[in-house]
Amino acid sequence: MNKTSPLNTQEENELRQYVKSFPEFPKPGIIYDDWAPVFSSSIGVSLINKLLKKYAETLRGKVDCVVMLESRGFLIGPIIALHLNVPCIPVCKKGNLPNPVIELSYSLEYGKDTIVIQPDSVKKGDRLVVVDDFLATGGTLKAATTLLTKVGGVVVEYFVVMEKLFLEGRKKLEFPVICFISD
């Protein structure tokens, strides 16, 4: 169990049962571990809801908003926000939010991307947890932090479902990373 996971070993093992690996995706040399099959059954949906509720309790009183990163952060961000009774703010890929937006381009392990946010979606000083599904090299979370800081937000923590430790993405990040599964 990762020391930054709020799960016990049994809960982590239950979640791991849903993870499927896809070699050579999205490009040769990459093995993509997919945790999203958890949504393919009512038992899995109940499990992820229970685990995200448990995580949300650790944030109570510490954050004002949940920031969800497109696309799979959109699956878990609203659940965490619902359990905390706080807003959920989208950070999207370029072209997926109407103007006005603030954008930031960045590099990731297999290409380049641009993310955007509507500037009035975060109030100056809002304390934020940034939610994504996967931490690899840290590029997306780092870019999101830069973007959120530009609009006045204060990142306090990152949450991901899975992390590939050998890629050392945490080393690029300024704030604590909480994850359910790390390899």
Tens of pLDDT, residues 35-85: 999 999 999 999 999 999 999 999 999 999 999 999 999 999 999 999 999
pTM to 2 decimal places: 0.93
Task: Give percent above pLDDT 90 in the chain.
Answer: 84
Would you kindly state where each structural domain of the chain is located, as residue ranges? 58-182
Per-residue confidence at 14, pLDDT binned at 50, 70, 90?
A: very high
| 180 within 8 A of 5, measured Cβ to Cβ | yes
Q: Domain 58-182, CATH 3.40.50.2020 — does that match?
A: yes
The whole-angstrom separation of Cα 94 and Cα 147 is: 13
Lowest mean pLDDT among 58-67, 99-108, 155-164: 99-108
Q: How far is CA 110 from the centre of its chain?
A: 18
What pLDDT was estimated at residue 2? 45
